[in-house]
Amino acid sequence: MTDSSEKMVIIAASGDLDKAWPVMILATTGAAYGMDVTVFFTFWGLGILKKPDAGLTGDDWRQKMLSVFKPGSTGKLGLSTMNMGGMGAKMMKGLADDHNVASVQELLEMSQDMGVKLWPCQMTMDLMGLSRDDMIDGLDEPAGAGSAISLMKEASISLFI
């Protein structure tokens, strides 16, 4: 019998659709295994947690530029390869629909329902000029590398995706 306190940690550092998908698939499946799952979102991974209508974010022109080129939110993620200006991601989502594969957005909502903890990285939020208001609801308090390490020391599964 799986100990209910068994822990799983995923570091989600990529904002690519083809990375966000396995992050959310493994997080929900870990929760289905009764594990205490935490996903720590950092760098481009933070984009997965952005609100679709976050718009132009940050104060600095460089932060604003980042938000234009990497708008984030689950609906706007691109493929790491063969993205073709968004056409590739669109094709992939069409295929996923045809094959009844749950979308990243659906899996994200499901993970929240299943008690998966979603941690945004405070440092990258500051770097990119993102505030809590730019992010979806239901997130845990932003945290740092120290919190991630203490969690991973206790975890039986730790992944960097």
The full 3-state SS of 57-107, as one line of letters, equals CCCCHHHHHHHHHCCCCHHHCECCCCCHHHHHHHHHHHHHHHCCCCCHHHH
- Could you identify the residue written with the tokens 């691109």? 78
Find the binding residues for another protein in span 24-53 (CB under 8 A). 25, 28-29, 31-34
Q: Is 102 in the site for another protein (CB under 8 A)?
A: yes
Among 91, 110, 139, 157, binds another protein (CB under 8 A): 110
Q: Which of residues 111-130 bind another protein (CB under 8 A)?
A: 114
Question: Closest CB to another protein among 29 and 147?
Answer: 29
User: Is there binding between residue 99 and another protein (CB under 8 A)?
Assistant: yes
Site for another protein contains 95 (CB under 8 A)? no
Per-residue burial over 122-136, b if 16 or more Cβ lie within 10 Å, else e, is bebbebbbbeeebbb
- Residue 56, exposed/middle/buried by CB under 10 A (0-12, 13-18, 19+)? exposed
Structure tokens at 77: 């993620």
State which of residues 61, 69, 85, 100 lies at the interface with another protein (CB under 8 A): 100
For another protein, the binding residue among 2, 59, 133, 146 (CB under 8 A) is 2
Which range, of 11-19, 36-44, 98-106, 143-151, touches another protein by CB under 8 A?
Answer: 98-106
Distance from CA of residue 84 to its chain's centroid?
A: 22
Residue keyed to tokens 């992050």: 23
- From CA 65, how far away is CA 71, in angstroms rounded? 9
Q: In the complex, what is the shortest distance from the CB of residue 137 to another protein, in angstroms, rounded to a whole number? A: 22
Binding residue for another protein, selected from 18, 63, 101, 122, defined by CB under 8 A: 101
Q: Site residues (CB under 8 A) for another protein?
A: 1-2, 25, 28-29, 31-34, 99-102, 110, 114
